[in-house]
Amino acid sequence: MLAFMNKGYAKTSMQDLTQATGLHPGSLYCAFTNKRGLLLAAIGQYQSDRSTEFERHFSGQQTPLEQLKKYLDSIVLECISCEASKACLLTKALNEMAEQDDELQSIITDNLTRWEQGIAQQFAKAKTQGLLHRQSGSGKSAERDCQALARYFVMGIYGLRTFAHTHPTLEVLQSLADQLFEDVTR
């Protein structure tokens, strides 16, 4: 995971991967068949880690909106932490290989879409608690509204991650995140 996040898929050599795993080529090929198989496994692990972290984060006693704000803040911190990557493995792989590997693209897209739906659920929860003052109809239209909010929210996160490359300062990123959260909860 870390190897792929650091160098990207193409620039990560098998030698890098034997060093990172402590295993030798034969073992890796026996277990994962491919360099690509290793990437798929890394993505699976990444997704699993993220998923449990997501569950943990949103299982507390705070209001959904407080949790979403803290979630966003944690991403800001992740963006400026110099440790491995500063980029989400899913979006990094998507940017690098999307047009060349349809299966990989759909795997990553599925994962990101599930994540987006998890966020939509949080907005929905906030809405049923009356914490969201959006104008809206009822029933199905309310559902679509939360979808739209979630889409906008994750678009902002994608943007933050790219933006962090050009302005890697807590000050700028935090103010962008604050603005995003305001716009999404207005």
Partner DNA sequence: GCCTATCTTGAATGAATGTTCAAGATAGAT
Partner DNA sequence: ATCTATCTTGAACATTCATTCAAGATAGGC
Residues near a second copy (CB under 8 A) are 6-8, 10-11, 86-87, 91-92, 94-100, 105, 108-109, 112-113, 116, 148, 151-152, 154-163, 165-167, 172, 175-176, 179-180, 183
CB nearer to a second copy: pick between 23 and 172 = 172
CB nearer to DNA: pick between 15 and 166 = 15
Query: Please, which of residues 5-34 interact with DNA by CB under 7 A?
Result: 12-15, 23-27, 29-31, 33-34
Report, in Å, the least distance between residue 111 CB and DNA: 23
Nearest to 131 by CA among 176, 177, 179, 186: 186
50 binds, among DNA, a second copy, none (CB under 5 to 8 A by kind): none
Binding mask 31-70 for DNA (x = CB under 7 A): x-xxxx----------------------------------
CB nearer to DNA: pick between 33 and 63 = 33
Report, in Å, the least distance between residue 175 CB and DNA: 40
Nearest to 161 by CA among 100, 95, 90, 79: 79
CA distance to 27, 60, 158, 160, per residue, from 76 (Å):
38, 20, 11, 8
Report, in Å, the least distance between residue 170 CB and a second copy: 14
CA distance to 9, 19, 54, 70, 130, per residue, from 40 (Å):
11, 18, 21, 30, 41
Half-sphere exposure in the Cβ direction for 172 (13 Å, CA): 12
2 sits near DNA (criterion: CB under 7 A): no
The answer to whether the CB of 132 falls within 8 A of the CB of 71 is: no
Which value, in Å, is the radius of gyration of the alpha carbons in the chain? 18
C-beta atoms surrounding 38 within 10 Å: 23
The answer to whether the CB of 30 falls within 8 A of the CB of 73 is: no
Report, in Å, the least distance between residue 47 CB and a second copy: 14
> What does the binding site for DNA look like in residue numbers (CB under 7 A)?
12-15, 23-27, 29-31, 33-36
